[in-house]
């Protein structure tokens, strides 16, 4: 079992940056692949980024590739999402998710994740 708490959301102007954090409680954080998803009002939850257990594999949605970077610090039980060059279309609630996997595995489908945080709001103004 793992509990996830996101933080770092806020209101920024287009072109600005935010760094989201997801703090995990649990004994086996390093056994989980981690992901970030987002959901805008009236939209389905969409994949943003994922990272494997040791951070060796990452994968991004095309909409954020080159602007966002996912990373993790297993010693701190924390996963991060660095968001640069933010656009108004990035406005959404951002969710952290965890899924136990074997080595070198990533997950990109929301239904593949067992554990979710409460979400943090990111609003990008034009």
Q: For position 27, what pLDDT does the model report?
A: 83
pLDDT in tens, 49-73: 999 999 999 999 999 999 999 999 9
- Rounded Cα distance between 38 and 45, Å, is 6
pLDDT in tens, 74-123: 999 999 999 999 999 999 999 999 999 999 999 999 999 999 999 999 99
Q: For position 70, what pLDDT does the model report?
A: 98
Q: For position 58, what pLDDT does the model report?
A: 98
Tokens of 24: 């995990």
How many CB atoms sit inside 10 A of residue 120's CB? 22
Contact 5, 22 (CB under 8 A): yes
Token look-up 């793992």 returns: 2
Opening angle at CA 124, ends 72 and 57, nearest 5: 25
- Residue 119 Cα to chain centre, angstroms: 10
- Rounded Cα distance between 116 and 126, Å, is 30
Cα dihedral 110, 123, 62, 115 in deg (nearest 10): -20
Q: Which of 33, 12, 30 is nearest to 90 (CA)?
A: 12
């Amino acid at each position: 079992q793992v509990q996830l708490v996101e933080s770092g959301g806020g209101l920024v102007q287009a072109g600005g940056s935010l760094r989201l954090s997801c703090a995990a409680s649990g004994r086996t954080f390093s056994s989980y692949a981690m992901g970030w998803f987002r959901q805008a009002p009236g939209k389905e939850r969409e994949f943003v980024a994922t990272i494997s257990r040791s951070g060796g594999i990452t994968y991004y949605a095309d909409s954020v590739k080159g602007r966002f970077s996912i990373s993790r610090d297993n010693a701190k039980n924390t996963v991060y999402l660095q968001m640069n060059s933010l656009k108004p279309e990035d406005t959404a609630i951002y969710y952290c998710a965890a899924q136990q996997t074997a080595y070198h595995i990533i997950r990109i489908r929301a239904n593949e994740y067992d554990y979710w945080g409460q979400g943090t709001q990111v609003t990008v103004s034009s």
